[in-house]
Structure 1
Amino acid sequence: MGGWYCLAGFFSQLKAGLTKTRQNFVEKVEQIFTGYKKIDEELYEELEEVLIRSDVGVNTSMELVERLRKEVKQRKISDPQELTKVLQELIVELLGKEETIAFAERGPSVILVVGVNGVGKTTTIGKLANRFKLDGKRVVLAAGDTFRAAAIDQLEVWGERSGVEVIKQREGADPAAVAYDAVQAAKSREMDVVLVDTAGRLHNKVNLMEELRKVKRVIEREIPGAPHEVLLVLDATTGQNALQQAKLFQEVAGVTGIVLTKLDGTAKGGVVLGIQGETRIPVKWIGIGEGMEDLRPFVPKDFAEALFGSSEEG
């Protein structure tokens, strides 16, 4: 990715952003490992409890402890002090490999962005537009959240900030019609990426499902194989709530990747593991700050290292 991806600077920023999660999660896990003289059932039970309380989710916590048991047996580990390293390895394994955005081989790539209101969806679209533009791509935005005038206005502000055109209609217009206009504009002007905002109403699952189906149908009719990505934006500070949203949107929208915002300054960063463990949807981008450049591709190995990196180290 271009020169903006300054690894060393980002890693220390990520590490700093994960401080509260590290205190809430890793340091408590390490206290268990240092507090026991031997690896026994009590240790495993206490570990499972800490994982669950750290927003990792019940199923994923049980799965991690089960995997840890196997590794202990296979490697004949008897010293609890050695378990931190093994758990870190298992977490990297659980998070899987780095997965980037899938772009179309030819013609415009259409990325549908979904998520409830208030998670930073419009902001994420603006930051992604900026990223793609820096990578030399020509981008157009579609203001498909037509139920809130504020969402359309906010997207226009981000469009101006990034120097990217926003295709919109009046408030209350059909979101599928906005998506259609944006795709047509992208095709006729030979744009590379169309980012489509969508409404984040959750009170009626059936309506949301129908609306997203219609938007997808219209897009696919114009560009076979589109949308190329359905990105779900989740707010890390909501912990278990984010996990529930991931499950719901996986069901209604066929999500292909997750953008996890507000990871900095929250103690609930463990939810990354729960999302990955329970939905198997890859986390593709993470937000660790307010700035344009604070939205970055998610690298599981870096995340695990930053999470376990002790506070004393530089």
Structure 2
Amino acid sequence: MAADPTEIKGLIDSNLPDNTQRDNKAGVVRTLLKLVVDWVTLAVNTNLGTWFKVGGGVAGANTDAAYRTGTTIFGRATDDGTGAKLQAEGGASIRGALNSWGRTIANTFTPNGNAMSALDPAAYEGLLINGSNGGPTYMAFHRPGQVIQYLGVDTDNKLKFRDYVTTYVGDVHVNGLTAVIRTIGTQAKRKLVFYQAADNDHQFFGIGMISSQMVYQVPTTVDAHVFMCGSSPATSAELMRIVGTGAILMGTSTNNNTDRLQVEGSISQGWRTKAGWPTSAEIGLNKAVIYKDSSSGELRLWANDGGTRKSILLSAT
């Protein structure tokens, strides 16, 4: 606040009145001048509106780089207790760069302790980053002399990460934060996408869940689901693949485009057992199965050829 000159003016008037005829002695003038000097000194040193010139220690002009050593508060008359040297009530707008050497703390305010799902986060957000001109909204993380990485919301409204060196942009993934990657509790065919040929529920490599079924998706019929195992490039081998047409290949990756099950190597299988022989319905139309008659002990390969049963006796050798 500005210093009040009323007191010093009163002292001047009382010591140098207009209606009194007396000599103005040097001592009186010196006393008044010293009072003026003391008043000016006190006004400068205690005036909260005084900003000092950087490097000079004197009151700065409007064009000088100036400083204050005390707390400066805008918009209210009380200190908020944070210890911050600059405080503002009602917000602060800065057009340009804001440099903070140390921590930057943004406090959210939740009126009733509710979780995020139960309140309007826009009303209580601690930090808001606005995009402009229809572009992305993002933050930069800079390691001087090393790299700048970016994290933000792209123009397709997805949270993404951009690598500064390669300019690669990808949806945010979880790596090393937790042993569990969890999505929201809704069922969808497109839940986890590794690569997409097109932005739809079909042309992508990924995993989903619909109608209580786990879905493994490939984009075309020439693509395949491949299962592999191995501890090194030398030992890594293909165990099985399901090609896009539905054929299952085991021990081979070459599709003969004829058989639904293609196995490179031997197959071991059991048989069904019942008293008597199977009906056509038990075999299945155009299917074959091995049955053992529990009464006679005979073992036969049965086939249902368009509704006609046929069998071959498997005899001991």
TM bucket (normalised to shorter chain) is: under 0.3
The structure with the larger Rg is 2
Larger RCO, structures 1/2 (Cα 8 Å, 6+ apart): 1
**Which has a greater percent of strand?**
2
